Amino acid sequence: MPEKILVPRGTKDILPDEIPRWLGIETTSRKILKNFGYKEIRTPFFEETSLFKRSLGQTSDVVTKQLLELVSQKEDGGFALRPEGTASIVRSYIENSLDKKESLSKLFYLGAMFRGERPQKGRLRQFHQIGVEAIGPGSSFPYLDAEVIALSANLLRAFGLDNFTVHLNTLGTSSDKANFSKLLQKQLKPQLRNLCENCQDRFERNVLRILDCKNRECKAIVDKLEIGDAYLSEESKTYFEKVQEALKSLNVAYVVSSKLVRGLDYYTHTVFEITHSGLGSQDALGAGGRYNDLVSQLGGPQVDAMGFALGVERILLALPEEAKDEGCLDLFIVSLDEALFQKAFQILNDLRAKGISCDISFRMSSMKSQMRQADKTKARYTMILGEDELKKGVVTFKNMKTGEQTQIKMDDTTKMTTLLLKQ
């Protein structure tokens, strides 16, 4: 037997049974994002590696451990699969001079992202994000931060989720962030030898990362830190207060988590993460924040920006099992023999032309086995064309949930459509 080739580790096939749920999420997202004034943008799946190095941070895990680089013959910096959407959107914003076209660009994207992580439940190497980025000069307005956070919560609620928590924090300006790093270094210095090897390295290179470390000893040390808000300037404190007031006015519940710093380097001011209790260790459904310096750091104008991304696979993991059958066929047709199949085939095509989703058994097996096939498709109705029906010139419709049966004249596809369109 030749060896089977399997799907690459950390990736998944999305099988036909699961597609309705994906489509549901995509359709709901598009509707809500349009209501909030966002327009879709699509960027390539890979970019120059330097884009990610310069935006996400040379010391971030995503860059040091998870970038999936493409092998290139040339001596250039090479290309990498996109690990997230923000860097690409900012690259495109600058390249296409979107700042000249509109004062605030409200962009959204839906698509696959790639990170070379160690796969586990809720952590994949190819996963999908629904993300938004609001970019424009002078867009640092606390109400916009609140609107973006409210939008992420609205999306999750519209997908059918409610047991989630919004964690909120502020990093302040880039100089506040530098103060934050100094404060942490001061507090952590006496414990340096007790930190894991990774965190000892992070201490100099990017001390904020230590707050995210999953190592038990590091976590215990981090838990004892008293952070406060002394590292923030008065302006940053006022800005954060206003964001919170705006969130309250929008009825968005949140908790302030002073140790939330996020794993990517581009954030300034507001940061947030949404967790779900049912998810286990990879419990973030989504996350985001403000990144006021990124556009200028990548060679663009000095404009402010704020965004988030939700992870679709994690949303699906957190969703209750029901609604899985959504999007199944309206009708499955079974017919006694080849002569009757011809009539059944004609009805099938008439009904499809009228917008009914239906299918038929293409195998002339027994009626019983065709009925089993109908059961498997989970169609709402089955139409039977057997001997009895032929004699009477009718077809029988069976409601697969209630078992109720109705007969309709063989040529009356209008009546059939009315029955099938009834919910």
Closer to ligand HAM by CB, 124 or 260: give it.
Answer: 124
CB of 311 to ligand HAM, least distance (A): 2
Q: Which of 286, 292, 293, 303 binds ligand HAM (CB under 6 A)?
A: 286
By CB under 6 A, the count of residues binding ligand HAM is 24
Residue 357: burial class (beta carbons within 10 Å; 0-12, 13-18, 19+): middle
End-to-end CA distance of the chain, in Å?
49
Closer to ligand HAM by CB, 170 or 370: give it.
Answer: 170
Could you give the string, one character per residue 125-144, with x where binding to ligand HAM holds by CB under 6 A and - elsewhere? --x-x-x-x-----------
CB of 309 to ligand HAM, least distance (A): 4
Residue 198: burial class (beta carbons within 10 Å; 0-12, 13-18, 19+): middle
**124/10 Cα distance (integer angstroms):** 5
47 counts as binding ligand HAM under rule CB under 6 A: no
**373/364 Cα distance (integer angstroms):** 12
117 counts as binding ligand HAM under rule CB under 6 A: yes
Closer to ligand HAM by CB, 163 or 366: give it.
Answer: 163
Could you give the string, one character per residue 307-326, with x where binding to ligand HAM holds by CB under 6 A and - elsewhere? xxx-x-xx------------
Closer to ligand HAM by CB, 61 or 99: give it.
Answer: 61
Could you give the string, one character per residue 79-98, with x where binding to ligand HAM holds by CB under 6 A and - elsewhere? -----xxx------------
Which residues within the stretch 257-276 sit at the binding site for ligand HAM (CB under 6 A)? Answer: none
287 counts as binding ligand HAM under rule CB under 6 A: yes
User: In sequence order, what are the residues at sequence separation of 6 or more whose Cβ sits closer than 8 angstroms to the Cβ of residue 8?
Assistant: 125
Q: SS3 for 402?
A: coil
Span interacting with ligand HAM, options 104-112, 135-143, 192-200, 280-288, rule CB under 6 A: 280-288
CA angle 269, 110, 76 (to 5 degrees): 80
Which residues within the stretch 55-84 sit at the binding site for ligand HAM (CB under 6 A)? Answer: 84
| Residue in 86, 57, 131, 118 with CA at minimum distance from that of residue 281 | 118
**315/239 Cα distance (integer angstroms):** 31
**343/46 Cα distance (integer angstroms):** 51
Span interacting with ligand HAM, options 26-34, 114-122, 323-331, 341-349, rule CB under 6 A: 114-122
Closer to ligand HAM by CB, 284 or 371: give it.
Answer: 284
Closer to ligand HAM by CB, 289 or 381: give it.
Answer: 289
Q: SS3 for 405?
A: strand
CA separation, residue 166 to residues 156, 253, 316 (Å):
11, 7, 18
CB of 296 to ligand HAM, least distance (A): 16
Closer to ligand HAM by CB, 270 or 382: give it.
Answer: 270
What percent of the residues of the chain are helix, what percent strand, and what percent coil, each to the nearest 5? 40, 20, 35
Residue 353: burial class (beta carbons within 10 Å; 0-12, 13-18, 19+): exposed
Contact residues: ligand HAM, CB under 6 A: 84-86, 115, 117, 122-124, 127, 129, 131, 133, 284-289, 307-309, 311, 313-314
